Amino acid sequence: MRYPIPSDTAASQARASDPQNSAWVSANAGSGKTHVLAQRVIRLLLNGTDPSKILCLTYTRAAAANMSNRVFSTLSEWTALPDAELATRIAALDGRAADRDTMRRARRLFAEALETPGGLKIQTIHAFCESVLHQFPLEANIPAHFEMLDPQMEASLFADARRDMISGAGTGVEGLAEAFATVLERGGEFGLDMLLSEIVGKRDELRAFIEKLGKDREFRLLFAEFGFNPGQTAAGIAASVWPLPGFAPSQFAEFGRAAEAADARQVLNNVLPYAQTAFAEADPIRRLRLLAKAFLRSDGDPYDPPKIFKKALVDRLPDLPERYLAAAKAILDVSDRLGLFRMLEGTAAALTVAGWLIARYEQLKRSRGFLDFNDLITRTVSLLSRPDAGPWVQFKLDQGIDHILLDEAQDTSPDQWEVVKKLTEEFFAGFGQRETVRRTVFAVGDEKQSIYSFQGAAPDSFAESRLLFAGRVRDAEASFADLKLTWSFRSSDDVLAAVDRVFAEPGVRRGISHDPDPLSHKAIRTDAPGYVEVWPSIGAEMVEEPDDWTLPVNHASAPAVRVAEHVATTIQNWLRNGEAIEGKGRKLTAGDILVLVRKRDRFVHALSRSLKNRQIPVAGADRLSLPGHIAVQDLIALGHFLIQPEDDLSLAAALRSPIFEVSEETLLTLAGERPKGQSLIASLRQHAGGDEVLAAVVSRLDGWATEVAFKPVFEFYAAALSRDGLRRKMTARLGP
């Protein structure tokens, strides 16, 4: 069913797609932002813009492919439409009647977009930066033949750098060995692995931070930021509590005698044993630790004086409570100060390790002529910012780009925004020789949908960049449209109202949006049913583990299992009670239900098991590890044998698989009764002389071995699966 589009949405979409405006569009989920972007590209082309002058940037390859498909499917459809229908489509899109020239151009756009040198550039920002760096390698100071690192190669380079560090390649670097020992001592092997993983993931931010600290390997600026003086040590900080306020040695001795005389059991049992050891300890750090055990509770807070000091003891020492609180405060203050200092020591050690590891990784990467994905952005920003080369590069790029369109702008990182800002610096700086061209910037996004913060995305940059570009455009006396798309084509009123209610409180809303206005999600599908039910959260429960280790532990009380049981029971009741689908006029079936999860963890497996236990058909998780599937492993084993006939294990796997279905007894005969040193294939050929089944196996293997010698991999497996019936055999044994 087609729903009428609200007039304000239609007007906003028309303004957003108008190629005469620069536009900034904040669009709710399902409100048609990709549709608007595709419309804008088509209107630019329809108005005579050269396809090579349009640059569409997005965050993921999937989004780029989706955008490209939408544009090209519309243009290809236009080539075959009757004149009347095409004229109607153009009028609806462009807001004006189509003349003969416009109609002719519309029919040529598909071929023009495909055939123009450079073509229509719809790509990820990383792909664009890669093309820029290939265009200007000398100016960017990188190898002209650079290659991109894939994740596996990147991990391998970091493994090499880590191995070099552990094996002592960095022994000449001042402080590295001590820093490495500090990290290992404080974090152990697990902590070291966690640290190195963090360094890998945040190397650009760490490198910039280390560079800001300068060449000072003692990180004095870092310590000074927290009020520590040069030369200050942990022992010196711990010693500052001594002598303990209110408990000079003579006062402490008096305190001990009074406690014994008053028979103050808590003091005698909890305070004095550690305190006496502390007063005899010469090492300041150990002494502070013992003082904390003596004068503070196990949770680190001071005792309540009336509860620990009996009246008989206070009568002997009236000022004891005040002295005790002063001593406890001093111990807490110095312990906190020491903890901060030790944390900074650990941070300095971690930064030293990070600095060396990152430098070594960069050295290995550079020596092999590689760039990684982070380099694409940082090198492009650096290239466009260089005073000697930047203006020339921008001039050359400026001649080729008139319109920049940015999709999923909320997931753009500050460095990526810097690329866009540099590219558009001359867009609105004056018309000069290009005064006939109205150049535009278009961005669409929704900061509420930002999901790539772990990769550096900064949703607040979306709002900040809007203000920057709005100022630039208006200073150039051009048109700037600041729009919101709030109507959803995807969901129903009930669901969207529940979302708005969750984020109605300003304090809660600040967690997902910097927009001061309340959230407003409205559904175009006004008659579509919806229902939202909020279940109470389920926490972990203690599991009683039996003393006998041979008895199983009941994990059915784990939160994931309990939630899975709840979901499965609810679905079972829906199906059993004949729950009707509103608006469909029929009963619910298992195929109508979709369970969305945040990630594929133990809950997915627990739910699948719970549904199967209730005889409810379930498709299972939507992601499959192909190399781990037994059918694929069988095909790989066959390939291994065909390229290496002496691989007995692979041949044995292929023989037992659905490919040949040789019995275990036969395989045992072939493998176990062969002469020492004889290969399995030789034994198979020997036994094939008197066995028709084995003779057929040998014949099939020989035929495939011949094909492998000249056929590409895909063609070989395609023929084996279809022509030779392997797919049918696999399905018969393993199921569809």
Domains of the chain and any CATH numbers: 22-127+376-485 (3.40.50.300), 164-368 (no CATH), 488-534 (no CATH), 537-544+553-623 (no CATH), 629-734 (1.10.486.10)
Question: For residues 488 and 523, is the Cβ–Cβ distance under 8 A?
Answer: yes
Residues in the chain where the model's pLDDT stays below 50: 431-434
Q: Distance between CA atoms of 559 and 565, rounded to whole angstroms?
A: 10
Q: In this predicted structure, what is the pLDDT of residue 455?
A: 62
Whole-angstrom CA distances from 32 to 397, 487, 489, 715 are 31, 9, 7, 42
Q: Distance between CA atoms of 651 and 669, rounded to whole angstroms?
A: 14
Which residue type occupies 319? D
Q: In this predicted structure, what is the pLDDT of residue 636?
A: 95
Question: For residues 120 and 41, is the Cβ–Cβ distance under 8 A?
Answer: yes
pTM for this prediction = 0.65
Q: In this predicted structure, what is the pLDDT of residue 478?
A: 84
Q: In this predicted structure, what is the pLDDT of residue 432?
A: 41
Which residue type occupies 706? T
Helix (H) or strand (E) holding 404: strand 403-406
* Closest CA relative to residue 258, chosen from 321, 312, 323: 312
Q: In this predicted structure, what is the pLDDT of residue 216?
A: 61
Question: For residues 283 and 239, is the Cβ–Cβ distance under 8 A?
Answer: no
* Closest CA relative to residue 356, chosen from 199, 219, 220: 199
Question: For residues 480 and 474, is the Cβ–Cβ distance under 8 A?
Answer: yes
Count CB-CB contacts under 10 A for residue 158: 21
Q: In this predicted structure, what is the pLDDT of residue 566?
A: 92
